[in-house]
Amino acid sequence: MIKKIIPVCEPFLGGSEKKYVLDALETGWISSSGKYIKEFENAFSKYCGVRHGIAVTNGTVALHLALVSLGVGNGDEVIIPNFTMIATAFAVCYTGAKPVFVDADKDTWNIDVSKIEEKITERTKVILPVHIYGNPCDMDEINKIANKYNLKVLEDAAEAHGAEYKGKKCGALGNIAAFSFYANKIVTTGEGGMVITNNDELAEKCRYYKNLCFPLIGERIYKHDDIGFNYRMSNLHAAIGLAQTEKIEKYIERRIRNNKLYRKFLSDIPGIIFPKQRNYVKNVYWMNGIIIDKDKLGMSRDELMIKLKKDGIETRPFFIGMNKQKSLLKYGVDCDGEFPVSDWLADNGLYLPSGSNLTEEDINFICSKIKDLIT
């Protein structure tokens, strides 16, 4: 019998993806000039409740482009969570600015807002919160600090499509936001990203810089007054993105359903810790992260992962803190300091299969395997 493998996350292409891609192919519109770019930008930004969407090639460059549009560069500092994916820090470094790390909150795993102010200097330009695993950050507090020190807020919403904070969508909660549409994201284009903003000027800058600083109006003359980038998304990718956006509510429902089932079966097990639920946020549970308390569970995170793998269940360890990334030392980033919560998360956290196409049966199977392993 072939053993069933349950991957951490697979793309769910459940709508008009094929139809739209074939249309793009058949009409020959495969570059970034096709109609699906505008349609995808409009549909996704409208869904988030924001006026402008600027489609790009991935989430990393979406962050970079947003930072460029905010005028971040050499000599500046950007506050980011220490517990995040490396792209958040790299995007800051690409501009010449330095990321400054703030430890995580142990209940939400997001940036600990009570520790932001102590990291602000006269060089700080931007606060860059990340909605980790689809769980919105405490944006009221972050915006309050940003206003007090005259800083801009760039949301890294790569993992938080459709998540809400006090009834407003992630991506609409700061000055500008960046999304990723990598294959494991709730809305995917395979590879892709988008900057969204309500600010006309920032949107215009993003459109300008993303296209090699070709003049936005007038003839396409080869005269470039600024340093630009080619971050243009293709019409083929946008065709997939539009079809995905049409189904976003269904995908989010599935992600939330996955979490409800995991909590139902696992939350009473001593030694398995879920993030705290807050009633004023809608966590979309892009990934179902859990923390393993080795003493209570009788097994470490790594032992559990190895055993689950033998049963065909794939998991992933949590991010390793930015202060532990040698690559950032090469950019001259200050990686000193203590980040005990990030360390705890990195050492003990894992995420369980979380894709939108998992069935209830899959989750029952995963949970019963976990129960078998620990008893």
Ligand X SMILES: Cc1ncc(COP(=O)(O)O)c(C=O)c1O
Interface with ligand X by CB under 6 A: which residues?
A: 58-60, 84-85, 87-88, 130, 156, 158-159, 180, 182, 193
* Tokens of residue 219, six digits: 């003839």
**Beta strands across the sheet bearing 288-292:** 272-273, 288-292, 349-352, 316-317
* Tokens of residue 313, six digits: 């269940």
Output 21 or 170, the one with its CB closest to ligand X: 170
Output 43 or 80, the one with its CB closest to ligand X: 80
Give the Cα separation of 155 and 78 in Å (integer).
12
Q: How far is the CB of 187 from ligand X (least distance, A)?
A: 12
Output 315 or 370, the one with its CB closest to ligand X: 315
Per-position DSSP letters for 11-50, written without gaps between them: ----SSHHHHHHHHHHHT--STTSHHHHHHHHHHHHHHT-
Q: How far is the CB of 90 from ligand X (least distance, A)?
A: 9
Output 178 or 272, the one with its CB closest to ligand X: 178
Q: How far is the CB of 266 from ligand X (least distance, A)?
A: 24
Q: How far is CA 238 from the centre of its chain?
A: 18
Q: How far is the CB of 237 from ligand X (least distance, A)?
A: 11
Burial 104-131 (b: 16+ CB within 10 A, else e): bbbebbbbbbebbeebbeeebbbbbbbb
Q: Which residue is nearest to ligand X (CB)?
A: 59
Q: How far is the CB of 63 from ligand X (least distance, A)?
A: 6
Output 37 or 233, the one with its CB closest to ligand X: 233
Give the Cα separation of 326 and 102 in Å (integer).
18
Output 339 or 365, the one with its CB closest to ligand X: 339
Output 185 or 282, the one with its CB closest to ligand X: 185
Q: How far is the CB of 157 from ligand X (least distance, A)?
A: 8
Q: How far is the CB of 292 from ligand X (least distance, A)?
A: 21
Q: Is the dihedral angle over the CA atoms 231, 200, 194, 138 positive or is it negative?
A: positive
The number of helices, as runs of H, and strands, as runs of E, in the chain is 13, 14
3-state secondary structure of 172: coil
